[in-house]
Amino acid sequence: MSTIAAKVKTGNGGKYVRQLCKHWSHKLETGVDGDTGTVTFPAAVARMAADSEGIAITITGDSRDEVERLTGVVARHIDRFAFREAPLTYEWAWQQ
């Protein structure tokens, strides 16, 4: 399994997590609990947890290439919802 993570600074993280999960719920399995959300892609799972400082994002999957590809997909979609403050800064780091 490969896991990559980022912390994205924004004061509206909970709003963006909820919007993103709702957006993807039409095609993918999603779950939302307050300011925490999960999106299950065919080859990976993205988990997002927001607090007053931003969104902690982790993406885990079997294929490192697919996990890396999804960093761009997730970032682009969050930036769409955060258009007033986008582009946000994503500093992705591989986890052990």
The domain over range 2-90 is classified in CATH as 3.30.310.50: yes
Structure tokens at 81: 């919802």
Cα-to-chain-centroid distance, residue 2: 15
- Residue 67 is encoded by which pair of tokens? 């996990």
pTM of the model: 0.95
Structure confidence at residue 47 (pLDDT): 98
Mean of all residue pLDDT scores within the chain: 97
Q: Which two tokens stand for residue 77?
A: 């979609």
Torsions phi, psi of 24, nearest 5? -80, -10
d(Cα 90, Cα 86) in Å, to the nearest integer? 11
pLDDT tens for 29-46 read 999 999 999 999 999 999
